[in-house]
Structure 1
Amino acid sequence: MNLRFKILGLVAAVCLSACNGGTKKNAGQQLESVPGMVLIPGGTFKMGAADDHAMADEKPVHEVIVDSFWMDEHEVTNDEFAKFVAATGYVTTAERPIDKAEIMSQLPPGSPEPDSSMLLPGSLVFTPPDHPVNLNDISQWWSFELGADWKHPWGPQSTIDSLGDYPVVHVSYEDAEAYAKWANKRLPTEAEWEYAARGGLEQQPYTWGSEAIDAGKPKANTWNGHFPYENTSRDGFITTAPVASYPPNGYQLYDMAGNTWEWVSDWYNSKYYQNFHKPGYAPGPVEAYDPADPSAPKKVIRGGSFMCSDEYCSGYRVSARMKSTPTSSLSNVGFRCVKSL
């Protein structure tokens, strides 16, 4: 459906019959804008992918209905998250000691208990090697750093003093959900996120269309060069970039590809798409299931990050799916919020 007609149709529906808070709107009255958010007009779209790059959990393509909603135009920044912390005194997952019982509940039966030194506050930090490594061994570029958190993204000696307009990272799903509730918003569903990321385009692999990531001008903050040991920074950045550093998509949303992965509200279930048999709303799976790690329920993250490349992880593809446990935090995961009409 043409984007212009979608928007006109939404405005017409609002003008004629929409209700808000139980009060019917007068004819001709339009929705008030929400600062920092973009109105995403509802519609039907084909979710998932069927091309050569599509992973098994992106198949089959299925038709999904999405209602209109507001979405943050960019990822939540350090400055925005700092306001939340200042107002509430909230302490993020990475700033708290790790609960041994919780860790053990996520490990296979009979697993050895973690060393007590690993239960101190900290988070997973990207630590790139200086040489080629086995891409099946993520321990080659991830390390648990004591003292790493949203205020200290690269370890206890780092700060965010000059990074106010950068996306907040080292936030768990629980942290993101707490922020959303404070802001009177919520996290997007997986269907809402993909629908918005497509920006009105149909069956295109990227938020900007079909042009390859390394063709033309930089379109997103991703990995340039050989992952994980060589980054040419062709796109201007080695790690995260200030939000809105690249052109927006068709819905005027920034960084729906690259920069940081973004939490969504759905549980991850690798078989969910296979069980979606008819067009309709996508409520999300009732329970989580990751065949590679069945003992640990995970939430979906979307959009890819500065670490993604076709050589390793084409996570910036609009249909690409990733997952992580709700209490995990990493230096390449952030979030943005939505608000129902």
Structure 2
Amino acid sequence: MMRIASVYLLGALVLLTTACKKNKRPDSGHIGKNSTATGIAYNAKEGFSTPKSFKGQPTGPNLVYIEGGRFVMGSLEEDVAGVHDNVERTVTVQSFFMDETEIANVHYLEYLYAVQKDSSQEFYESALPDTTVWAGEMAFNDTYVDQYLRYPGFRMYPVVGVSWVQAQDYSAWRTGAVNNDLARKATSGGKKGGRKKKGEEAATDATAEAASKQYSGGRAAIETGYVLPNYRLPTEAEWEYAAKALIGTQYLDENQSNQRIYPWDGSSMRKSSGKKKGTMLANYKRGRGDYAGIAGKTNDGAIITDEVYSYPPNDFGLYNMAGNVNEWVWDVYRPTTFQTFNDLNPVRRDGYLDDEKNYGKKDNNSLLDNRTRVYKGGSWADIAYWLAPGTRRYMDQDSATATIGFRCSMIASGRKR
């Protein structure tokens, strides 16, 4: 009797499994063999080609996944300047990727090498950082002018002297460089000399075959899933959301136990517990003339910038979202932005609803126009106030300083991770 019961149970499980498979609806990860609209097979030799299965957008080099959500954008500190340009407002930001570190000198030198080889001399010269940002008539910073960008000892220090426009150009080049490499690996088995050996999965995949036909100049068609969306500067909302990293304050369901003034808990600039209690959490200026403390007991360990992996990461795994260097973001600056922008994926692209002519730059009454860009985060030369993610400052998109660098972001497309 027990054997008969076992047979019936096994049969029931088989039927249930079969029924589940038949009733499974296609989704973006698994669309099935045939189109549910036309019945025509995907990946046919002639006709539309797309992967039968898609594991999701891969994480590009140096990127960290940032799960989106709502947060209160704006400053939680006293508005000491009295500009009221960062009043609090609840917004929602989609999921996205962000560089875990600032772009370092070695990364930018890689870019300069590529454009010098493949672009005009004029563009190469326009891409060069302004190393004279270190110079000062009353300061002996000559060594930084000559050495900071190119000397190997500074390779993993954040690149500075880069304008907003140059940062955008770098992002565009990086998109092409990464996608060229991804497409080559996908269509040649990771080797420049040919496709994978017989029997390997990618070699028999019709999608890879289709991609290789579309592989021209190093780029596969976006439908193949072998290429990533564009690298770009983060929006101000994305940057601030990622810096606060409120995922670390989550408490049951959708409640958060506290807000954050800085990218870490509490109002102190030092680690409050553990073996490294008392150590600095960021690279900043403590006061007039105090950039690093005294010899033998430096407080933050850096007189100017520091390496991009220095100091503890925040709860998203991002380094130096406060201090080290300020960072360019996408947005045009307006003091009234928080009152007018959308509450879903907010960004200010130009002077919409707040025209530049209202500020009188032509009459030298203001510095604001549609070329004025926001930067955030505080730097090695800033006091603690500017390290709060909600604070914001601005500068012309063609200008550069020794205190501003950047990192890139990328949209997270489609399926949840």
Q: Same fold (TM over 0.5)?
A: yes
Partners of 2:383 and 2:29 in 1: CA distance = 43
Aligned counterpart, 2:155: 164
Partners of 2:172 and 2:69 in 1: CA distance = 26
Aligned counterpart, 1:240: 305
1:227 to 277, 285, 288: 288
* 1:255-334 map, 5 Å: 255-276=320-341, 279-287=343-351, 292-294=366-368, 297-310=371-384, 314-334=385-405
* Cα distance change, pair 53–17 in 1 and its aligned pair in 2 (3 A): farther
Aligned counterpart, 1:80: 107
**Relative to total residues, which structure has the larger helix share, 1 or 2?**
2
Partners of 2:158 and 2:52 in 1: CA distance = 36
Aligned counterpart, 2:134: 125
Shift, 1:161, TM fit: 2.7
Partners of 1:217 and 1:237 in 2: CA distance = 13
2:260 to 204, 207, 231: 204
Question: 1:154-182: CA deviations, max 9, x gaps?
Answer: 32466533111110111111111110001
* 1:106-185 map, 5 Å: 123-125=132-134, 127=136, 154-156=144-146, 159-184=150-175, 185=231
**Relative to total residues, which structure has the larger strand share, 1 or 2?**
1
Unmatched runs of 5 consecutive residues or more in structure 2: 1-25, 32-48, 117-122, 176-230, 250-257, 272-277, 413-417
State the superposition RMSD in angstroms. 3.4
TM-score normalised by the chain length of structure 2: 0.59
* Cα distance change, pair 302–51 in 1 and its aligned pair in 2 (3 A): closer
Aligned counterpart, 2:86: 59
Q: Tell me, what secondary structure is at the counterpart of 2:410?
A: strand
Q: In structure 2, what residue type is equivalent to 1:180? A: S
Contact in 1 for aligned 2:112/2:127 (Cα 8 Å):
no
* Cα distance change, pair 282–250 in 1 and its aligned pair in 2 (3 A): same
Unmatched runs of 5 consecutive residues or more in structure 1: 1-14, 97-120, 130-140
Aligned counterpart, 1:12: none
Q: In structure 2, what residue type is equivalent to 1:85? A: L
Contact in 1 for aligned 2:236/2:347 (Cα 8 Å):
no
Aligned counterpart, 1:112: none
* Cα distance change, pair 23–188 in 1 and its aligned pair in 2 (3 A): farther
Partners of 2:382 and 2:115 in 1: CA distance = 34
* Cα distance change, pair 181–24 in 1 and its aligned pair in 2 (3 A): same
Partners of 1:305 and 1:258 in 2: CA distance = 4
Contact in 1 for aligned 2:327/2:376 (Cα 8 Å):
yes
* 1:186-201 map, 5 Å: 186-200=232-246, 201=249
Contact in 2 for aligned 1:93/1:327 (Cα 8 Å):
no
* Cα distance change, pair 17–203 in 1 and its aligned pair in 2 (3 A): farther
Q: In structure 2, what residue type is equivalent to 1:245? A: S
Q: In structure 2, what residue type is equivalent to 1:220? A: A
Q: Percent identity?
A: 30
Q: In structure 2, what residue type is equivalent to 1:250? A: D
How many residues of Structure 1 are paired with residues of Structure 2 in the alignment?
A: 277
Partners of 2:30 and 2:396 in 1: CA distance = 38
Partners of 2:349 and 2:27 in 1: CA distance = 35
Contact in 2 for aligned 1:50/1:59 (Cα 8 Å):
no
Shift, 1:93, TM fit: 4.8
Contact in 2 for aligned 1:227/1:309 (Cα 8 Å):
no
* Cα distance change, pair 85–285 in 1 and its aligned pair in 2 (3 A): closer
Quick check: 293-302 or 200-209, which moved more?
293-302
Q: In structure 2, what residue type is equivalent to 1:282? A: P
Shift, 1:69, TM fit: 1.1
Q: In structure 1, what residue type is equivalent to 2:348? A: G
Partners of 2:299 and 2:137 in 1: CA distance = 17
Contact in 1 for aligned 2:328/2:373 (Cα 8 Å):
yes
